């Protein structure tokens, strides 16, 4: 008897992998370029959490996700000048 090795759809969100990228100290366009490279290695539904200090990063990541087909699940400022971005890889 063959065993189904794919997770049932109700469990797929639980099986996603979460990755982190520290882009603090990098200036535009490097945080987005590093994130783009990291996202290419991930599977659809995986999440990349990016930390960045570039003041242009909030606007850049919104535009990048819209253009690249990824979902910006969450973003904000953790501390003065330190931003986080939670990006779900597009299918």
- pLDDT value of position 1: 42
Q: Choosing from 28, 30, 49, 68, which is the catalytic residue? A: 28
Q: What gap in Å lies between CA 64 and CA 32, rounded to an integer?
A: 7
pLDDT at site 16: 80
| Residue 28: active-site member | yes
Q: Which of 2-6, 15-19, 52-56, 77-81 has the lowest average pLDDT? A: 2-6
pLDDT digits (tens, 9 = 90+) for 37-83: 999 999 999 999 999 999 999 999 999 999 999 999 999 999 999 99
- In whole angstroms, how far apart are CA 12 and each of 22, 39, 43, 46? 26, 18, 12, 10
Confidence at residue 9, expressed as pLDDT on a 0 to 100 scale: 43
Phi-psi region of 7 (alpha: psi -120 to 50; beta: other; left: phi over 0): beta
């Amino acid at each position: 008897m063959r065993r189904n090795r794919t997770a049932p759809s109700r469990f797929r969100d639980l099986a996603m992998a979460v990755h982190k990228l520290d882009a603090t100290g990098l200036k535009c366009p490097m945080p987005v370029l590093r994130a783009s490279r990291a996202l290419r290695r991930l599977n659809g539904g995986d999440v990349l959490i990016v930390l960045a200090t570039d003041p242009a990063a909030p606007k850049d990541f919104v535009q990048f996700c819209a253009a690249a087909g990824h979902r910006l699940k969450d973003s904000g400022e953790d501390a003065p000048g330190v931003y986080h971005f939670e990006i779900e890889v597009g299918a």
